[in-house]
């Protein structure tokens, strides 16, 4: 029997300025008969965080709740030589590779979620969210543990994707890739700096020693990124491992500004504000790129930095507020700006697969920017209309509710939430018998019949958010259609913050500021 096909080539269109499918008025209200009266955001939040336990690599802790998983990748790092320990971290999606670039972004967004909306989380979920952050940062610290290099990936993705096997059984090469002064990877180092800096604030009150370690390590990672500038995808060996799965399409410059911005926020050190001021133009801060995700940080960068201008009137940061406004206006159907594309059912849509990553990350930015605006007299100027924070919150709520079931398919795109959700996600561990139920080893090709099966996955990966429907709002629940059916950590991470906000503020007409 043929093996499962090589899975996802995460190639995406870099610059997209598209018109809405629906009219402005339809996009604004979406009065469809499938709208529900409300959602259990607390239940969705708990499941959204639980998902990360199903993605863990390494030795699992005693309090592991995704009990169908077992230890895996316990020898990761040995291929790089004696003393290299790269156990832990997260598998990025439905495969068994640890890609450092999206893992660091995932950790940044989990941390940002806790920082902005942790107060809206029930205490137990706040603890679980911090655990999810720490599972990422513990690993990222290991990637920085050897002078002169930063380890950026474990696993040969081409060989991994030829197999359909559980992470507990994987026998493919655990090749280790690293960046160094001779083959730089400023985007990996810069995002690692951002993740550790953001996480340092998460642990500042409860574990100051760990927080200080994270912040010191973030500074070292940033210095590495800035001193050895370059993109890892420009190196042939690194490109062979990382591309086209997580190729650096956008360049490393935004990650330098992103890392500096998080270090500025975490440390309060004026040196990092000066870095942003002195390097912004040369590093592309003025580029009008309305995108935010694991590769392109521009829209998130503008929202993050604008906080300093909004709250402190730091005039040198005013341009970031203007750029953030420009991005927000593309999401407001009533504005005269060129608009992001929406499906007929109202979902934000960009070509390229894993579309829910745009839904969750943009929703997070909408709520975060609304929070910053609420603390000031600022609004968003979209040509002939002025947009306030409540409008941004309503836009985020529409996207969130669509994801949770208010859509033409009448299904939740989060596994385990609601009465109808994806049953056949593109995920090895979820689709194969659990090692707890089937302890006998399953080799590379042994999983192919399960891949080809139309049966539901035996191990529901609770909380996993799939790539989601296409531009026509259709979803076929097909395991082979990875662009729609595969979950990723960076889809879930920003939604943690979004759902936390709506736990505390479930009614858009009566939002507590």
Active-site residue set: 426, 477, 486
Cβ neighbours for 227, distance < 8 A, ≥ 6 positions apart: 181
Give, rounded to a whole angstrom, the gap between the first and last alpha carbons of the chain. 58
Dihedral sign for Cα atoms in the order 305, 309, 314, 315: positive
Q: Specify the 3-state DSSP secondary structure of 180.
A: strand
- For residue 458, with 0-12 CB atoms within 10 Å meaning exposed, 13-18 middle and 19 or more buried, which class applies? middle
Inter-axis angle of helices 489-504 and 356-374, to 10 degrees? 40
Tell me the C-alpha distance between 310 and 345, whole Å.
Answer: 34
Q: By the 8 A CB rule, do 419 and 452 touch?
A: no
Write the Ramachandran bin of 178: left for phi over 0, alpha for psi from -120 to 50, otherwise beta: beta
* Burial class of 62 by CB neighbour count within 10 A (0 to 12, 13 to 18, 19+): exposed
Number of Cβ within a 10 Å radius of residue 193: 34
> Would you call 337 helix, strand, or coil by DSSP?
coil
User: Which H or E run includes 152?
Assistant: strand 149-154
Question: Can you spell out the DSSP letters for 26-49?
Answer: HHHH---TT--S---HHHHHHHHH
Q: Which helix (H) or strand (E) holds 178?
A: strand 176-180
Among 59, 87, 216, 240, which Cα is nearest to 151's? 87
């Amino acid at each position: 029997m043929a093996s499962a096909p090589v899975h996802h080539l995460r190639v995406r269109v870099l610059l997209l300025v598209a018109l809405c499918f629906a009219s402005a008025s339809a996009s604004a209200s979406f009065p469809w008969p499938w709208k529900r009266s409300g959602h259990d955001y607390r239940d969705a939040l708990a499941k959204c965080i639980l998902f990360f336990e199903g993605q863990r690599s390494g030795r699992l802790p005693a309090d592991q709740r995704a009990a169908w998983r077992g230890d895996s990748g316990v020898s990761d790092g040995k291929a790089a030589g004696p003393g290299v320990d790269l156990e832990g971290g997260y598998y990025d999606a439905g495969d068994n590779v640890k890609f450092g670039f999206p893992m660091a972004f995932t950790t940044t967004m989990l941390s940002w979620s806790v920082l902005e909306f942790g107060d809206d989380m029930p205490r137990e979920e706040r603890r679980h969210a911090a655990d999810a952050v720490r599972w990422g940062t513990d690993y990222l610290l290991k990637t920085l543990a050897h002078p002169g290099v930063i380890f950026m990936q474990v696993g040969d993705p081409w060989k991994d994707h030829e197999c359909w096997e559980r992470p507990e059984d994987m026998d493919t090469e655990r090749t280790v890739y690293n960046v160094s002064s001779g083959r730089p990877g400023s985007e990996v180092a810069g995002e690692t700096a951002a993740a550790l800096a953001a996480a340092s604030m998460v642990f500042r009150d409860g574990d100051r020693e760990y927080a200080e370690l994270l912040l010191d390590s973030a500074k070292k990672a940033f210095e590495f990124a800035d001193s050895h500038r370059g993109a890892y995808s420009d190196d042939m060996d690194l490109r062979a491992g990382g591309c086209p799965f997580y190729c650096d399409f956008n360049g490393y410059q935004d990650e330098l500004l992103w890392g500096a911005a998080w270090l500025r926020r975490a440390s309060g050190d004026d040196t990092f504000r000066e870095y942003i001021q002195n390097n912004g133009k040369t590093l592309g801060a003025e580029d009008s790129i309305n995108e935010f995700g694991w590769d392109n940080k521009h829209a998130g960068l503008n929202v993050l930095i604008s906080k300093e201008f909004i709250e402190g009137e730091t005039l040198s940061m005013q341009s970031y507020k203007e750029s953030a406004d420009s991005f927000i206006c593309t999401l407001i159907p009533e504005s005269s700006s060129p608009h992001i594309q929406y499906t007929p059912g109202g979902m934000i849509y960009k070509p390229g697969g894993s579309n829910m990553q745009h839904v969750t990350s943009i929703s997070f930015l909408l709520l975060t920017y609304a929070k910053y605006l609420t603390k000031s007299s600022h609004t968003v100027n979209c040509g002939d209309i002025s947009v306030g924070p409540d409008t941004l919150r309503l836009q985020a709520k529409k996207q969130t509710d669509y994801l949770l079931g208010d859509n033409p398919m009448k299904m939740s795109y989060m596994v385990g939430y609601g009465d109808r959700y994806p049953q056949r996600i593109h995920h090895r561990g979820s689709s194969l018998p659990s090692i707890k139920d089937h302890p006998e080893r399953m080799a590379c090709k042994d999983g192919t019949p399960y891949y080809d099966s139309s049966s539901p996955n035996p191990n529901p990966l609770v909380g996993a958010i799939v790539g989601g429907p296409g531009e026509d709002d259709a979803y076929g629940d097909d395991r082979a259609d990875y662009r729609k059916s595969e979950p990723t950590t960076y889809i879930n991470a920003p939604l943690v913050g979004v759902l936390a906000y709506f736990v505390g503020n479930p009614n858009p007409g009566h939002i507590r500021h």
